[in-house]
């Protein structure tokens, strides 16, 4: 992954200097054997059971984290796990779809210094929160009014607990997914969890107003989520054997299979970009006409040409250089 990030072509996909936009999304995968994570969903698996491969990709199209979760769980608790495994020095902005968002996640990402920017549907129906009553804003002439107030006393009362919670995640004493899952599992809602949600309502309300007003931000979010959704199709071509199913029931084995798939995807992206750079440099040295620009292609464009048991050819629309199999055969 480090090699992908250092390529000049990869850097050309970064929209804002010193800011990296990433996205995460899950892909449903059927499990052929009994597994503790497998759950049933007729919509996604028919009569079978399955899990979710949850992967993270930045705008340079490098996959940097993956895990396996139950299809019956929300993806939101696992978002911070992936972000904490992305060791970039630039500012971070991260996007998910609505399945990956909660108000407590808005709180945690804000305090961790990460801009959380999910894709919302029907933005006009989202609830906005304010520090004063609705009538107070109405008298001031505000056109967009909050629906209810923020419970400031709850936030102030548990502020030290909130900071300890975030410090636990920041210092890697425990994973965010474990902490959030534990807090949300109580029969009676935990006061700390309520305080996290209450502070998250402030950040969420501010983001909704920005999201509604900033067309470029909405386009950028849509583009990044489009990349990760295309990556899921790409992974389907890589994870092609045994009817695209997990044959392992143990969670650790499923995570290893997912990590291997991500490694192969990154290797293909790196090969496409590196071979494209070499072929263009060779063409310039030999005086050949300069090939057309990649026009936004990121190295993950593919088409599956091989049957099971053969090396799948995953290439860009135009040949960018010799195939990997040709090079290995010649050596």
Question: Exposed, middle or buried, 166 (CB in 10 Å: 0-12/13-18/19+)?
Answer: buried
What was the pLDDT predicted at 17?
79
- pLDDT per residue as tens digits for the range 1-35: 677 777 777 878 888 878 889 999 999 999 988 88
- pLDDT per residue as tens digits for the range 292-331: 444 344 545 544 333 333 433 443 333 333 444 443 444 3
Q: Is residue 91 in some structural domain?
A: yes
List the domain range (segments joined by +) for residue 39.
2-244
The answer to whether the CB of 61 falls within 8 A of the CB of 300 is yes
What was the pLDDT predicted at 281?
53
Q: Calculate mean pLDDT across residues 56-74.
A: 89
Q: Is residue 224 in some structural domain?
A: yes
Q: Does position 134 have pLDDT exceeding 70, yes or no?
A: yes
Alpha helix (H) residue ranges in 112-151: 134-139
What was the pLDDT predicted at 277?
56
Q: Does position 96 have pLDDT exceeding 50, yes or no?
A: yes
Higher-pLDDT residue of 197, 311: 197
What was the pLDDT predicted at 305?
31
Count other C-beta atoms under 10 Å from residue 189's C-beta.
11
What was the pLDDT predicted at 56?
94
Q: Which residue has the tokens 């975030």?
A: 166
Distances in Å between the Cα of 96 and the Cα atoms of 21, 27, 76, 130, 276 are 11, 13, 9, 25, 31
- pLDDT per residue as tens digits for the range 149-178: 999 999 999 999 999 999 999 999 999 999
Distances in Å between the Cα of 294 and the Cα atoms of 9, 194, 235, 277, 298 are 9, 49, 22, 11, 8
- pLDDT per residue as tens digits for the range 264-299: 999 888 888 777 655 555 555 555 555 444 434 454
Q: Is 187 helix (H, G, I), strand (E, B) or coil?
A: coil
Q: Is residue 26 in some structural domain?
A: yes
- pLDDT per residue as tens digits for the range 215-260: 999 999 999 999 998 888 888 888 767 778 888 889 999 999 999 9
CA proximity to 78, closest of 60, 49, 93, 56: 56
Q: Calculate mean pLDDT across residues 43-47.
A: 84
Per DSSP, what are the bridge partners of residue 54? 26, 67
Higher-pLDDT residue of 278, 191: 191
CA 74/CA 184 separation, integer angstroms: 11
CA 259/CA 252 separation, integer angstroms: 10
Q: Is residue 195 in some structural domain?
A: yes
Q: Is residue 71 in some structural domain?
A: yes
Domain total in the chain: 1
What was the pLDDT predicted at 88?
66
Q: Is residue 137 in some structural domain?
A: yes
What was the pLDDT predicted at 1?
64
What was the pLDDT predicted at 204?
95
What was the pLDDT predicted at 322?
41
Most confident option among 89-98, 108-117, 277-286: 108-117
What was the pLDDT predicted at 256?
92
Q: Is residue 25 in some structural domain?
A: yes
pLDDT band at 105 (very low <50, low <70, confident <90, very high): very high
Q: Is residue 76 in some structural domain?
A: yes
CA 285/CA 97 separation, integer angstroms: 46
């Amino acid at each position: 992954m480090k090699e992908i990030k250092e390529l000049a072509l990869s850097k050309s996909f970064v929209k804002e200097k010193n800011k990296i936009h990433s996205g995460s999304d899950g892909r449903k995968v059927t499990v052929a054997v009994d597994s503790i994570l497998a759950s049933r969903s007729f919509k996604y698996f028919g009569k079978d059971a399955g899990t979710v491969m949850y992967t993270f990709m930045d705008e340079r199209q490098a996959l940097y984290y993956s895990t396996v979760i139950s299809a019956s769980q929300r993806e939101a608790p696992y978002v911070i796990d992936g972000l904490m495994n992305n060791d970039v020095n630039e500012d971070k902005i991260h996007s998910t779809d609505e399945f990956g968002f909660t108000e407590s996640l808005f709180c945690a990402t804000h305090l961790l210094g990460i801009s959380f920017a999910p894709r919302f549907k029907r933005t006009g129906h989202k609830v906005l929160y304010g520090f004063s009553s609705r009538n107070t804003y109405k008298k001031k002439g505000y056109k967009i009014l909050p629906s209810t107030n923020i419970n400031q006393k709850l936030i102030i009362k548990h502020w030290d607990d909130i900071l300890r919670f975030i410090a636990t995640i920041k210092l890697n004493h425990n994973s965010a997914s474990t902490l959030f899952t534990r807090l949300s599992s109580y029969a009676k809602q935990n006061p700390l969890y309520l305080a996290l949600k209450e502070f998250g309502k402030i950040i969420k309300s501010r983001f909704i107003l920005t999201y509604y007003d900033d067309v470029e931000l909405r386009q950028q979010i849509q583009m990044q989520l489009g990349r990760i959704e295309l990556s899921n199709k790409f992974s389907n071509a890589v994870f092609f054997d045994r009817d695209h199913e997990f044959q392992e029931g143990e969670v650790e084995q499923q995570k290893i299979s997912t990590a291997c798939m991500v490694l192969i995807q990154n290797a293909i992206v790196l090969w496409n970009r590196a071979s494209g750079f070499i072929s263009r440099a060779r063409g310039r040295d030999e005086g050949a006409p300069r090939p057309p620009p990649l026009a936004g292609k990121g190295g993950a464009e593919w088409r599956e040409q091989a049957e099971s048991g053969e090396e799948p050819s995953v290439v860009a629309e135009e040949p960018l250089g010799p195939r990997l199999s040709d090079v290995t055969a010649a050596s």
